[in-house]
Chains A and B, each alone.
Chain A
Amino acid sequence: MERIPYLRLENITKTFPGVLANYSINLSIEKSEVHAILGENGAGKSTLMKILYGFYRPDTGNIYLDGTPVDIRSPLEASRLGIGMVFQNFMLIPAFSVVENIALALPKLNVLFKRSEMEERMAVVADRYGLSVDPRARVWQLSVGEKQRVEIVKLLLSGARMLIFDEPTSVLAPHEIEGLFQIFKNLTNDGYTILFITHKLREVMACADRVTVLRRGSVVGTVLRSDTTEQELAYMMLGEQSLHLDRSTKKPPEGRSKTVLELKGVEVSDDRGGLGLKEVSFSISSGEIVGVAGVSGNGQKELGEVVLGLRRCRAGSVLLHGNDATQWSVARILGEGVACMPEDPLVMGVAPGMTAQENMILTDRMNYFRHGGLFIDWKAVRAEVERRVENFGLPIPNLDTPVIALSGGNVQRLVFVREVARRPSLLIAYYPTRGLDLAATKMANDLLLACREAGIAVLLISEDLEELFSLSDRLIVMHRGEVVGSFKPEETDRLEVGLLMTGSKAP
């Protein structure tokens, strides 16, 4: 007799205007297994999971839970069916306490609920699975790992039997990842089922029981972890294309490099009035890439903002080319050749309703001012923008389309090209490859190395340790607004950096 899988998807298809996100997906998930969904960015993993969690409804296809067909119309429905999801950007409210966040997810709560009772229930689960968090803390005070634990506790208490994790490791340090996998094990031992979405082969090999590989919205195949190898999975995931990142182009910086940026004992406030940066001192020279490792939210944002003049120093000073730039305006600092590729280009780097051409000159518009700064020479702008599009191979068909009509990846490239093309002396690059597929990642990395060769000082802020180790000439590690370590990449290893950036090891 055939065993009925815990969850079965049958011919699931989902399209968005112009995009086929999932095509005829068939998938079976057994009870108490860790089932990994592996795929590149854009392979359709997230769409599939959002269908399971009731955020989207499939165009066609059926979902069976324990053999009975179910219609998951909303997250509420999903949680009634025992399906819970840990999102990449957590579904927590920062201003609420941990208890309040958990109470929010519990369907059967008394109208007047007791906080102490909630705390007791939390403690029980926390002890059993190693998920302890201070129930009274406000969520914004927690570390990323702690937030993840809150999410898990929340789902367990709300009665979830299957937990979906969307790229749960992307924000964790190496030792925290091991902790998470241990939690997976504890949970499956108790009969919970784990669905683990990722694009990292190594992690799949480390924790999954079975793996389903997605490519371009379709299932390539499902294999047992014990029957496969990293190479085989990579082949399934990427298909014919075999991309190897060539990081060997790195050359030692030239001898006569000059200091471009120097920070001396810089302290700034964060958005909540606390200390965002604490006595930060370091310098970057031309033709050098300095990588900043750290879990996001540990001062990276403030670091870029203080250099750009967007945030004022409480103490200390910022020197550009040896001149004290602490009190300079943003416009002046940009004029002195500082460029920035921000964390979220669409939100921080462009005016989405304006055209690609208008956006292309946003940060060096002063070069096209005419008649005493009254008018802009749009003819000259056109010529320059066309040159940039040509030189950098930007896939923008029409310069007069509003930027919002471009894909996220293209907006990112547009901003990157804009900042590089104006020949800065210092480039602050935030997560330059976040969300890009392998091919685009390689392009971005090559561009950074080209900047370095052209003598640009690069401050590379990233969460991807692999990227940091392979690109940086020097690494600094940040934790809670402090520089807790400064190394040459070859002097250290990922574990040490990981421990430092989570504060698990004293500097």
Chain B
Amino acid sequence: MFLFLQGVLTGAVRSETSVLYATLGETLGERAGITNLGMEGCMLMGACLGFVTMAHTDNLALSMMAAALAGGLSSLIHAFLVVTRRANQLASGLALMFFGLGVTGFIGRPYVGMKIRGLNELPIPYLSEIPFVGPILFTHDVLTYLTYLLTPLLWVFLFYTRWGLAVRAVGENRTVAYASGLRPSLIQYLAVFFGGMLAGLGGAHLSIAYTHMWVEGMTAGRGFIAVALVIFSMWHPLRGMLGTLLFGGAIAFQLQLQARGSRISPYILDMTPYLLTLAVLLLWGRTRKHAMPEGLKAVFEGVD
């Protein structure tokens, strides 16, 4: 039982990493008042281009950069459409999802089935030897460790810095932000860009570190789940980490069950992350609405 739990939790941290990146990115964007369902597309772009770069150069830093840029640049299309052209945020996000699916399908096709060395686990000496907690937290890859840093960093950024204040102000009310001497459009562009970069990194984790493979459409809705988890987390990075851990736990739990030859159909088990996300929103969605940045209400509550 002890080992099972440790296994589930270790797996949870590993499989949540990609979603956590996207959740952090989406938190940043939504705090600035922009929802991006295209996170799914950004993740795919990151996963694909990160993988392709890795396959050619075997250079981790370069791959990370490629992945982040792919995610960031493609999300700029979304920023242009919704900030400058005032298009519907949800529709534009979905268009970005289609775009990511198409482009990565095209670019990535020669790489399907290729196996790369990729990014492997790097247990941290001493720390990983702490009983129970050690293996859960400190036997992962560099990208996972990076989230330990990024999550609190985003939290401090949003709530304790002048810049974070500006981002949140834009998300609450563009006019007030403008009257306060800020440049709302610029801030939204930046937030969406960096959000997309984070999603790109998340995608890269999936292809380079988690599976060492590129498969068309491999994100399987993780981008959407991230958007849902942001609502659950009340637009807060630390709670976002908690939410993604829950999601990762569901995947890891199911994988552990399958590995132990459970009789439950794997297809039913595969549903858990989606159903869990829905359940979480059902249970806490309404009570958390009040924390929603004011600027998002028009997006999510067009009819009510």
Contacts and interface: CB of A to CB of B under 8 A. Distances in A.
Direct contact of A and B (CB under 8 A): yes
Interface of A: 53, 55, 74-76, 79, 85, 87, 91-96, 100, 103-105, 107, 109-113, 272-273
A107 B165 CA distance: 12
Interface stretch (B38-46, B135-143, B172-180, B246-254): B172-180
B162 interface: yes
Contacts of B179: 53, 55, 75, 85, 87, 91
B162 A111 contact: yes
Contacts of B161: 111-113
A285 B156 CA distance: 59
Nearest to A113: B162
A178 B133 CA distance: 64
A75 B160 contact: no
A103 B160 CA distance: 11
A104 B160 contact: no
A103 B181 contact: no
B27 to A, nearest CB: 16
A496 B114 CA distance: 82
B180 A96 contact: no
A119 B179 CA distance: 22
Contacts of B172: 93-96
A104 B290 contact: no
Contact of A74 (B160, B173, B181, B293): B181
Given A96-B169, A96-B172, A272-B290, A91 B163 contact: no
Given A91-B180, A105-B181, 6 more contacts: A53-B179, A91-B176, A103-B165, A104-B180, A109-B162, A113-B160
B168 to A, nearest CB: 8
B294 interface: yes
Contacts of B182: 76, 104
A113 B162 CA distance: 7
- Which of A53, A85, A111 is the most central at the interface, judged by chain B CB atoms within 10 Å of its CB? A111
Q: What DSSP secondary structure best describes chain B's contact surface?
A: helix
B120 to A, nearest CB: 36
A76 B187 CA distance: 15
Nearest to A80: B181
Contact of B294 (A74, A95, A107): A95
User: Which 6 pairs across A and B sit closest by C-beta, in order of nearness?
Assistant: A76-B181, A91-B179, A93-B172, A91-B176, A104-B180, A109-B162
A93 B176 CA distance: 7
B286 to A, nearest CB: 11
A105 B181 CA distance: 7
10 contacts: A53-B179, A74-B178, A93-B173, A95-B293, A100-B165, A103-B165, A104-B180, A104-B182, A109-B162, A112-B156
Contacts of B293: 95
B181 A75 contact: yes
A112 B169 contact: no
A17 to B, nearest CB: 19
A370 to B, nearest CB: 27
Interface of B: 156, 160-163, 165-166, 168-169, 172-173, 175-182, 290, 293-294
Contacts of A113: 160-162, 165
Contacts of B162: 103, 109-113
Nearest to B175: A91
Contact of B181 (A92, A93, A107): A107
A95 B176 CA distance: 12
Contacts of A74: 178, 181
A85 B168 CA distance: 22
Given A93-B173, A95-B172, A111 B163 contact: yes
B176 A92 contact: yes
B181 A79 contact: yes
Contacts of B156: 112
Contacts of A273: 290
A75 B182 CA distance: 9
A94 B172 CA distance: 9
Given A96-B172, A111-B162, A75 B290 contact: no
Contacts of B290: 272-273
B88 to A, nearest CB: 15
Nearest to A77: B181
Contacts of B165: 100, 103-104, 113
B180 A105 contact: yes
A55 B162 CA distance: 23
A418 to B, nearest CB: 23
B186 to A, nearest CB: 12
A107 B162 CA distance: 10
A263 B295 CA distance: 36
A104 B166 contact: yes
A273 B289 CA distance: 12
A343 to B, nearest CB: 18
B178 A75 contact: yes
A68 B190 CA distance: 36
A75 B181 CA distance: 5
A47 to B, nearest CB: 16
